[in-house]
Homo-oligomer: A and B are copies of this chain.
């Protein structure tokens, strides 16, 4: 069962709603914080006190303010929290809708559920928590479509080139940076070939469009 829940969410209204939803499904006194650092502290203390949390519900992006924080993103919080308490269940609740980013949450950060802030998010929260109570991961069905026709898998070389381009490095200067970082291949021709291939694959007709595409998908 899921009884002890922590909410890490900087928006006051959203935080409130999540509390309400949890109360409605029988979670007594969900705890909540507005900063990642506070969340980590609470998780550590609960663990040490022998009364660890069952579930962490966290946002992805926390806005900076006058309170300087160690952890500034939900992903960092997830990593740290899991290093304290590996079996902690994690639900990410965010407006993020870029498939690549969400995919990474499941693969790299091994989250148990993702619910997008959207039309029926309260209902979906309940469903997701139900799944987790049965020790199942919750993978929103609307995502499956996205992932299946997820056109192309970018490799390290692709990403390196695209990053450099998006950072304003001229194509002809890219080999220099690739060699500096020991990325192979590094020849200008290889860069040209690869970019040409990527544009063809993703039906982009210019580098500009390619960068726009990657930004939209969250690849960059």
Contact = CB atoms under 8 A, between A and B. Distances in A.
Interface in A9-57: 10-14, 16-18, 20-21, 34
Interface residues of A, number: 39
A17 B122 CA distance: 11
A198 interface: no
A210 to B, nearest CB: 8
A20 to B, nearest CB: 6
Copies held by the complex? 2
A209 interface: yes
A107 interface: no
Contact of A12 (B119, B206, B209): B119
Contacts of A65: 119
A166 B208 contact: yes
A171 to B, nearest CB: 9
A188 interface: no
Interface stretch (A133-141, A146-154, A211-219): A211-219
B122 A13 contact: yes
A209 B117 CA distance: 30
A95 interface: yes
A220 B214 CA distance: 13
A180 interface: no
5 contacts: A13-B17, A170-B206, A207-B207, A208-B211, A212-B220
Interface of A: 10-14, 16-18, 20-21, 34, 63, 65, 95, 117-123, 125, 165-170, 204-209, 211-212, 215-216, 220
